[in-house]
Structure 1
Amino acid sequence: MNPETNDRDTGSNSLEITQRTQIKRLPQRGNYDRPLIHQILDEGLICQVGFVVEGQPFVIPTAYGRVDDRLYLHGSPASRMLRTLKQGVEMCVTVTLLDGLVLARSAFHHSMNYRSVVVFGRAEVVEDAAEKIAALKAFTEHVMPGRWSELRPATQQEIAGTLVLSLPLNEASAKVRTGPPKDDEADYELPIWAGELPLRLTPLAPVADPQLSVNVDVPSSVQQYSRSPLETAE
């Protein structure tokens, strides 16, 4: 069901809660602040896109980019997912960041620390040339900040051969878990180690293309690569 929403102040830092975005399971973990939603989207790399084709549900992983309050998807015009979404069908996009494992004194209370975003809506085809190029830049900069300026310009053939869809971030929510395990009170005295095991996405040493010309240094975008949330916070 497409939920009814009221008019809201688009300049607000908080999104309106709708029937679809309201967090029902552990609602204290829910968050509707735009800066947090943007931060999670900017730190993530892969989203899961859910949609229905002829009564069959699909969930497809894909890359994405964000510009202001819009999420962009792109790919080949022959993509079944993009061909379906450009018709304006209802879709759902999710992004999850795993921050750590939460190890309790019982298996029942083991958990994970995470940050996630769920977005609902209908996508639109990007026809405007300037917006399309801005979206393609956003895809590149999302994966590797600073990379766009190091590349040769995209050709008209490449731009024409890429389908770009835009999804407004009007109906979205975040859900976050942080902190230590929450054990049963009687279990805190047990001689069992409990705590958190933080996890981070850390790049290894870059591996050059075997066909790379000699005397080409590793660019600064690669040397300085990081998915740190401090670098994506607004």
Structure 2
Amino acid sequence: MLGILKEEEIEKLLKEQYIGRLACHAHGVSYIVPINYVYNSGTVYAHSAPGQKIRMMKSNPQVCFQTDQIRDTFNWKSVVCWGKFEEIIDAAEKQRVLQGIIHRMMPLTNTPSAQPSHGTGKTDPYEEGMIVFKIIMHLKTGRFEVNDSSD
């Protein structure tokens, strides 16, 4: 059975997941990449080294974000959101967001100190040019499929 996720199911999925796909479009080119994220109150928080997605989002801040939970081919949930990219400039807010990401990601890795690109290494991630950003969502949709056969 295919269906539409209710608002509370969309929120639950966004909070539970930690990897999503961020799509951006600028200068006639579309680009989609997986990102680690933390979700809170209609906003996705993430970080990145400078690169193509950051350049594209600065040029066109309107983005699309997707995450899912897939158990198998006929049992899945997926959420697609549209929102606006904003770089976080305030140092205190950057630190809070980065700490939230670290708290979310550390239990999922065996060697957190070996991952300096995720702000968990010994070097200061801001010295490396890390960009912390948020996607403020303005539209969220969700779909699911459940195998409801009794076999």
Tell whether the structures are fold-level matches, with TM greater than 0.5: yes
Question: For residue 130 of structure 2, what is the aligned residue in structure 1?
Answer: 162
Equivalent of 2:97, from 135, 142, 147?
135
Q: Deviations over 1:127-170 (max 9, x none)?
A: 122221121122122224599xx98x888942352101111133
How far is the alpha carbon of 1:117 from its aligned partner? Answer: 0.9
Instruction: Tell me, yes or no, if structure 1 residue 97 matches structure 2 residue 69.
Output: yes
Question: For residue 117 of structure 2, what is the aligned residue in structure 1?
Answer: none
The higher-RCO structure (CA 8 Å, 6+ apart) is 2
Question: For residue 75 of structure 2, what is the aligned residue in structure 1?
Answer: 113
Given the two structures, how large is their TM-score scaled by the length of structure 2? 0.76
SS of aligned partner of 1:52: strand
Equivalent of 1:124, from 68, 86, 109?
86
Is the 8 Å Cα contact of residues 114 and 176 (structure 1) preserved in structure 2?
A: yes
Question: For residue 172 of structure 1, what is the aligned residue in structure 2?
Answer: 140
Distance change (3 Å), C-alpha of 1:166 and 1:127: same
Distance change (3 Å), C-alpha of 1:146 and 1:62: closer
Q: Which has the higher strand share?
A: 2
Q: Distance in 2 between matches of 1:69 and 1:145?
A: 24
Larger radius of gyration, structure 1 or 2? 1
Residue pairs, 1:181-220, within 5 angstroms = 181=149, 195=151
What code does the residue aligned with 1:39 have?
Answer: K
Given the two structures, how large is their TM-score scaled by the length of structure 1? 0.52
Q: Deviations over 1:31-60 (max 9, x none)?
A: 341x42232123323211112232122221
Q: Distance in 1 between matches of 2:49 and 2:108?
A: 24
The Cα RMSD (Å) is 3.0
Q: Deviations over 1:97-150 (max 9, x none)?
A: 10234xxxxxxxxxx111111110220111122221121122122224599xx9
What code does the residue aligned with 2:34 have?
Answer: P
How far is the alpha carbon of 1:88 from its aligned partner? Answer: 4.0
Distance change (3 Å), C-alpha of 1:65 and 1:115: same
Is the 8 Å Cα contact of residues 32 and 172 (structure 1) preserved in structure 2?
A: no
Is the 8 Å Cα contact of residues 79 and 140 (structure 2) preserved in structure 1?
A: yes
Is the 8 Å Cα contact of residues 49 and 59 (structure 1) preserved in structure 2?
A: yes
Is the 8 Å Cα contact of residues 66 and 138 (structure 1) preserved in structure 2?
A: no
Q: Distance in 2 between matches of 1:173 and 1:94?
A: 10
* Unmatched segments (≥5 aa) in structure 1: 1-25, 102-111, 182-193, 196-234
Q: Distance in 2 between matches of 1:146 and 1:68?
A: 23
How many residue pairs match? The answer is 143
Is the 8 Å Cα contact of residues 78 and 142 (structure 2) preserved in structure 1?
A: yes
Distance change (3 Å), C-alpha of 1:154 and 1:68: farther
